[in-house]
């Protein structure tokens, strides 16, 4: 959908978020707010995280990867997928963030949610439900690194590294360094799996926008949207990610994504910013990128 106001309400949100970024002692204010009003995730977000967590676990199992030590890049508020990996048998799980969001209450939310869905994990793992339940009831071996420091983990000590809707928030230079760090942390033969959301995240809060509305704006104008760093989106397109993974040394096993029908129609009608005019319309319209890659054995 291409609204006549071409994102007017988005810019109102940008203004509000920018003002928030200027508030002094905002972290202390946020902590006090969370004590009074604990964070609660939306049920649809929990469902999507669980669905995509099953996809990650299924892919890891298909690639015959050990579920020993697991690294999640960008845990966020609710550790749904780490709790799923715990139920799946992971012996150690590193949770990471740039900014501390996870707390005891949000962990309890994830535990309650995943605890009610163990049957699906059992079916995905082809493992008896009592075995999965017994594993889930053990205290998890979680280590929360905030900020993420690869040196704490150590080289060639991780079996699986993954992220879900995180890489699109990382600038390209930092992303290249992050993937190099992941490569170094993985054991030879270890795998990395990522689900990348290529859509305009302002559309998540304002459904009147196109899912690819942000492809209209020049880089100079787009920089105004992330004065508040929490709004940063790199706007990399599907095809941009493959050379970044290969450049980090990975053997890419799966690299897939399907154009969104509505997004494709929008792209054909919108005036693209110069940066995006060299791309195929189908590439621009891919809203979700799936990557599975392996660190070579030698």
Per-residue pLDDT of the chain in tens (298 residues, 90 and over written 9): 444 444 556 877 787 777 766 667 656 666 666 677 777 788 899 999 999 999 999 999 999 999 999 999 999 999 999 999 999 999 999 999 998 889 999 999 999 999 999 999 999 999 999 999 999 999 999 999 999 999 999 999 999 999 999 999 999 999 999 999 999 999 999 999 999 999 999 999 888 899 999 999 999 999 998 888 888 999 999 999 999 999 999 999 999 999 999 999 999 999 999 999 999 999 999 999 999 999 999 8
Residue with tokens 């998540």: 204
> For position 29, what pLDDT does the model report?
64
Domain spans, the chain: 38-198+236-294
List, edge to edge, every strand of the sheet that includes 142-145: 142-145, 92-96, 69-72, 158-164, 186-197, 288-294, 251-256
> For position 275, what pLDDT does the model report?
96
Residue with tokens 């970024």: 21
Taking alpha carbons only, the member of 166, 139, 137, 135 closest to residue 71 is: 166
> For position 12, what pLDDT does the model report?
77
| Domain 38-198+236-294 in this protein, CATH class | alpha beta
> For position 35, what pLDDT does the model report?
72
Distance CA 63, CA 295 (A): 12
CB 102 within 8 A of CB 81: no
Contacts of 270 (CB under 8 A, 6+ apart): 2, 210, 212, 215, 216
CA angle (181 as vertex; 176, 183 as ends), nearest 5:
95
Q: Strand 92-96 vs strand 142-145: parallel, antiparallel, or unpaired?
A: parallel
Distance CA 155, CA 161 (A): 13
| 129-137 and 118-125 helices, crossing angle to 10° | 120
CA 25 vs CA 29, 171, 182: distances in Å: 6, 26, 33
In which region does residue 212 sit, left (phi positive, over 0), alpha (psi from -120 to 50) or beta (all else)? alpha
pTM of the model: 0.92
């Amino acid at each position: 959908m291409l609204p006549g106001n071409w994102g007017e309400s988005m810019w109102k949100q940008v203004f509000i978020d920018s003002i928030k970024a200027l508030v002094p002692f905002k972290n202390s204010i946020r902590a006090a707010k969370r004590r009074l009003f604990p964070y609660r995730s939306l049920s649809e977000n929990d469902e999507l995280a669980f669905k995509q967590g099953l996809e990650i676990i299924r892919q890891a199992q298909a690639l015959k990867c050990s579920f020993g030590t697991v690294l999640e890049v960008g845990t966020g508020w609710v550790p749904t997928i780490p709790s799923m990996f715990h139920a799946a048998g992971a012996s150690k799980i590193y949770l990471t963030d740039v900014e501390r969001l996870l707390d005891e209450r949000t962990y309890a939310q994830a535990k309650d949610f995943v605890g009610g869905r163990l049957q699906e994990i059992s079916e995905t793992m082809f493992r008896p439900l009592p075995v999965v339940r017994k594993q889930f009831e053990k205290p998890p071996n979680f280590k929360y690194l905030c900020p993420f420091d690869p040196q704490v983990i150590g080289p060639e000590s991780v079996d699986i590294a993954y992220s879900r809707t995180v890489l699109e928030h990382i600038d390209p230079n930092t992303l290249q360094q992050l993937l190099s760090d992941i490569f170094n942390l993985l054991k030879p033969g270890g795998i990395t799996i990522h689900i990348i959301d290529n859509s305009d995240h302002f559309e998540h809060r304002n459904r009147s926008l196109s899912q690819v509305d942000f492809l209209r704006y020049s880089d100079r104008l787009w920089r105004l949207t992330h004065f508040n760093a929490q709004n940063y989106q790199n706007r990399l397109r599907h095809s941009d990610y493959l050379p970044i993974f290969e450049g980090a040394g990975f053997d890419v096993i799966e690299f897939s994504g399907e154009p969104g029908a509505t997004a494709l129609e929008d792209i054909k009608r919108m005036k693209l910013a110069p940066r995006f005019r060299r791309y195929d319309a189908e590439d621009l319209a891919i809203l979700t990128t799936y990557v599975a890659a392996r660190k070579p054995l030698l």
